Structure 1
Amino acid sequence: MDAYTPDPMIQRVLAESAAQAEAQVQARDEAARATAPVRAEREEQRLAAAEYRLALARRAHERTRRELDDALAAAIPLRRAHGIAQRAAYRATHLLLTPEEKAAKAEENP
């Protein structure tokens, strides 16, 4: 049995294809190395913008929390005052009722 000897034309085409593939890989690697600083700079800018937005959001959150705390602190005395006013209005109204009106109201609300 004779040993197989590849056709020289096939060997040449395979060598050219391998050389083209290697050139494409090198060109892609070179392009990646050339654009790496630009990509890194863009990523740093995006990171800085995100950090700035985070700082703004934190400040807004703190401001809102303080405003809510202040509103709650102001609402408690108002609620108490409202309850006192309601009780005083009820008592005043109850005192002004005639005995017949009081009896009618007692029948309405057992």
Structure 2
Amino acid sequence: MHHLNIGARIILCGSISGYRSETPPPGPDNMFELVTKRIAMKGFMYTDHMDRYPKATDDLTAWLKDGRLKNAEYVLEGIENAGVAFCHMFEGKNFGKTLVKL
């Protein structure tokens, strides 16, 4: 946290990689910097912004088509790897959209 600016804002969204964890995720040991730097940390739920979903979908689709936005895919081959792919999502072993190629 010592790299954050004074007045920084942190957005938290999602925690799928920790759903099956047997131990709590590691946390920062310098939480007091939230106070000294007056940092705001706030949770984010996409459902709070559903009114913006149609425009966002249109914009994101256009950006993907013209190359301004790139999407990452984590692809495993074969139906026999579907379970592995599913588990990898919960273990944080994937990056991007997880796909199983049949």
- TM-score bin (small chain): under 0.3
Greater helix percent: which structure?
A: 1
Which structure ranks higher in relative contact order (CA pairs < 8 Å, sequence separation ≥ 6)?
A: 2
Greater strand percent: which structure?
A: 2
Larger-Rg structure: 1
Q: TM-score, normalised by structure 2?
A: 0.19
